[in-house]
Amino acid sequence: MTDHTALHRTVLGWYAAHARELPWREPEAGPWAVMVSEFMLQQTPVKRVLPMYAQWMERWPTPAALAAAPSGEAVRAWGRLGYPRRALRLHAAATAITEQHGGEVPTDHAELLALPGVGEYTAAAVASFAHRQRHAVLDTNVRRVFARLVDGNEYPPTATTAAERRTANELLPEQPETAATWAVAVMELGALVCTARTPDCAHCPVAADCAWRLAGSPAYQGPPRRGQSYEGTDRQVRGRLLAVLRAADHHADVPQAALDAVWPDPVQRARALDGLVADGLVQPVAPGVYRLPG
């Protein structure tokens, strides 16, 4: 078995000196705060999450507080974070925590994974960051660090592979507390230094051992990487429709005419609205009348 002690010491030392001060990392934050942050941070940068996180935690400081609110209020409070289905999933998780776990976020990884809306990544992240357990936590940043450092590739595959999981588990420190800090340290390294577009190799603590850098930083050779286009997409239309519904008074009905005004293409507009209804984000209450879910 390869000894990774030197690697651990280097990355953990860098993290101790450079970690950002974030509210969900504070000792008093608690498991619920960690869970909320993980839902919000999926596909959304920290700077956009911070103000919404503060408002959310002030309003719903516990799972029971959120579970007691209508799911539509969660969608309304989600604001412009994007991917609003996350708000419904977080509300469903809070309800399950309240009804099945006495209002306390489970400590067991399998119980976390069984919560609605909680996938493999989120379960591992909460178990690691909140409960200080030993789990490999593979988000986009971590996968990119390992792709470059270990595999010599600029970017990881589109979907997480078994080989990536093996690498992550092989590099995971044995002691749970150290492993939990390692998990967030590698993530921070990917977020601040080993970034997707402009990696700062000159300030990377493991640059001397990076397989990608040692190979001359070869250009990416894999399948085309999808961009994050937004303008003119159904996502943009969905966002505009939801903005109208969020702006309505509490539990107020919104007529079709108000929704029709936000997008000129009736076919795309109807498709986006149908998708919102199918996802449970919008509730039809009568022909041509809609509201956020109750």
Residue 38 bears catalytic tag: yes
The whole-angstrom separation of Cα 79 and Cα 51 is 11
Q: Provide the token pair at 229.
A: 């286009």
Tokens matching residue 248: 């309505």
Q: Are 242 and 273 in contact (CB under 8 A)?
A: no
Instruction: Tell me the torsion sign for CA atoms 231, 234, 236, 237.
Output: positive
Structure tokens at 43: 């596909």
Per the residue annotation, which of 38, 73, 154, 164 is the catalytic one? 38
Residue type, 228: Q
Residues 255-275 as b or e (16 or more Cβ within 10 Å = b) = eeeebbebbeeeeebeebbeb
Which residues are marked as active site?
38
